[in-house]
Each structure stands twice: as structure tokens, then as C-alpha cells.
Homo-oligomer: A and B are copies of this chain.
Amino acid sequence: MANKKPTLKDIANVLNISTAAVSKAMQGNSRISDKTKQAVKKVAEELNYQPNHLASALRKGKSNLVGVIVPRTNSNFFSSVIENIEEVLNKKGYQIIITQSNESYKRECANIDTLLFTQVDGIIASMANETTDLSYFEKIKSKEIPLILFDRGENDLNVDYIGINDYDCSHLIIAHLVSQGKKRIGHIGGFSRSRIFNNRIRGYIDAIKKYNLPSDGELLLESSLTLEDGREKMLQLLALNNPPDAVYVAGDYAALGALQVLQENNIAIPDSMAIVGFGNEPFTGIVTPSLSTINQHSDKIGRLAAETFLALVEKTYLKQSLNKQILTAELIVRDSSRILT
């Protein structure tokens, strides 16, 4: 770098006093004369000296920064969680810095390194789709930095977690579709290696059994849940000899892709095919037909994650038991699955 940052020593050299005296003058120490204090102030300004807050935070072991890792910021769920985390933590004097993994394990590892590098006081994270190796998250734990997971977490990590009752949500959705007269229900699910998507898949399978509906393997597809993959998986379901009359999609973007495919193929929604998404993204209320979906309570999740972090730092790790908070999500029924009789 061309410009080396001025230090206390540079100020001391100009004034021909000790670095310690400059430091004391800056801290307003009463043993330093007002004249010296003013001289130090003047020289500091002239040199454009910037007190190094970070170095001071390093000494004190506290940065007042909290790192947040999300799979992507371009999702109303994640940005709403972030907003709510921020609201709670800002009030307590913490600033948050955000990193995104873009669903990549490699990037998530880099995110963790970055946040540890910036000496965050804690990390609140939701895991990437790709992540199966937990060693990077173990690294956070091993440093005794509070780690709170939300939405996409892993039981094996044994850390505090805020999420919703994914398994029950599947039951809610299947019960609703059955009540609308649907008899052959498919599921475009997330990757089963991810705990939350696995819970949704298990919930789907159990609910299908409960209602004695056909549970052909071809009706259950794993997906990355992007809009594009939602399109692809719906085309796959439509190509079946015996296609479903309703599909529960584990993410709103994929549900939107599925909806587009149905419209392009002139399939009546919801009469020939009903669709239910997951996440209550804002577009779900404005598309035609409007999309039934699950409200995940991103606001509560964000607030609880922030409060869990605060509880952890205030208790300085004396906590003995884990704090798993599972919120009850709600089904929002809209035109894509409401049969008018």
C-alpha cells in the first residue's frame, strides 16, 4: 500500500514526547497537561491519525460485530430474517455483517474464515444446500464463538437452533389438499441430506400414508428448488403415465416455476392440478393464480436468533443445555389450491 497509516509513534515523534504520553493524552488522562493534549490533538489531525478501534477490540476480545451467513440474500425469507436480527442487535450496540454462500460449500467455508478473521463476537447462520461436511462449523464452536443456526441447521452440530415445524407443515399441506378433493399428490422436495427438507419429505410420506393415498416413488422428486428446477421437475411429473392432481413444492421459487409450466401447458389450476409452495415470498400473493404457501415467520426467527446470541454472550458460555426453538408455521391458502365448489 502506498500510504502507511500514521501511528501514535508518528505523533510522538513530531512532538518529541513518548508514545505512552500521546496515548494518555488521547485518553484524556489527567496527568497530561491541557497544552500537551491540545498539541497531540492538533498533530493527530494534521497527520490524519485514525485511532485503531479494531486493534483495541482485539485487545479487549470484543468487536461488537455479529456475522450472518445466508445461502443467498435474494430471498425475502433470508432478507427478512437478517432485517430482524439487525433490529434487535443494533439496539444492543452490535453491528451485523452479512456474507452469502450462494448455496456453495466452498463459499460457506470462505464466509466462516472471513467472519472469524473480522473477529466477530458471534455467528448466526443458515447452511448452504451443498453442505454435508460440518468441520467448518465445528471450527466456530472450537473457538468458543457463539454459533446459532436457523432454518437450515444440523442436529449433529449441537448448537442453538431456531426453525419451524417442517414435518408438521407437510401434514398441514397434505390435509388441506385432501380436503380439496385431491387424490394423487406429488412432492417436489429439497435435498433430503438437508435436515429441514428431510423433515418435509418425511412429513409428506407419513401424511400420504395417513390418508391412504398412493405413494409411488415417482411422485417424490428431490430438487435444488430454484425456479428453473421447479420447471424441470413439474415437466417430469406431467410426463408420468399417471400424473398427480396436486403438487406440494418445498420452496416458493420452484413452485413458481411449476406454476409457469402448468400455465404454458394450459392445465387448469387448481382443478386439474393444485399447487402449494413454501416460504411466503412476496410474489406468491401477486402472481395469477395466487400461490398457496407456508408462512415461516421470518420476523420471529430473526428476533429469536438475535436474542439467543445475546443470551449466549451475556451468560458467557455457562449455558449447559441447548436451546432449540421450533416455531409453528401456518398455511396460507390461496387460489392455486382452493377448489371453488
Interface residues of A (CB under 8 A from B): 1-5, 48, 50, 52-55, 57-58, 61-63, 65, 72-74, 76, 79-80, 82-83, 86, 90, 95-100, 102, 107, 110-111, 113-114, 116-119, 142-144, 256, 260, 282-283, 286-288, 316-318
Which of B54, B107, B143, B256 lies in contact with A119, CB distance below 8 A?
B54
Q: Nearest chain B CB to A74's CB is how many angstroms away? A: 4
Give A289's nearest chain B residue, CB to CB: B288
Cα-based distance from A154 to B48 in the complex (angstroms): 24
Q: Could you tell me the distance between the alpha carbons of A90 and B102 in the complex, rounded to whole angstroms? A: 13
**CB closest residue in chain B, given A143:** B50
CB of B61 within 8 A of CB of A1, answer yes
Dominant secondary structure at the A interface: mixed
- Which residues of B are found within 8 Å of A83, using beta-carbon distances? 74, 100, 102
Say how many copies of this protein the assembly contains: 2
Q: Which listed residue (B96, B142, B287) contacts A288, Cβ 8 A?
A: B287
Q: Is the CB of A98 within 8 A of B95?
A: no
A4 to B317, CA, bound (A): 12
Query: Quick check: A65 and B114 within 8 Å, CB to CB?
Result: yes
Q: How far is the CA of A282 from the CA of B75 in the complex (A)?
A: 12
Nearest B-chain residue to A95, judged by Cβ: B114
Chain B residues with CB under 8 Å of A317's CB are 2-3
Min CB distance A19 to B, Å, is 16
The answer for the CA separation of A118 and B65 in the assembled complex, in Å, is 9
B74 touching A76, Cβ below 8 Å? yes
Chain B residues near A286 (CB-CB < 8 A): 256, 260, 283, 287
* Option from B57, B73, B97, B256 in Cβ contact (under 8 Å) with A79: B73
Contact B117 A53 (CB under 8 A): yes
CA distance A74 to B81 in the complex (A): 11
26 contacts between A and B (CB under 8 A): A2-B318, A5-B61, A48-B143, A50-B143, A52-B58, A53-B117, A54-B54, A54-B58, A54-B117, A57-B117, A63-B117, A73-B73, A73-B74, A73-B79, A74-B74, A74-B80, A86-B100, A86-B102, A90-B110, A95-B110, A95-B113, A97-B99, A97-B114, A97-B118, A98-B98, A287-B288
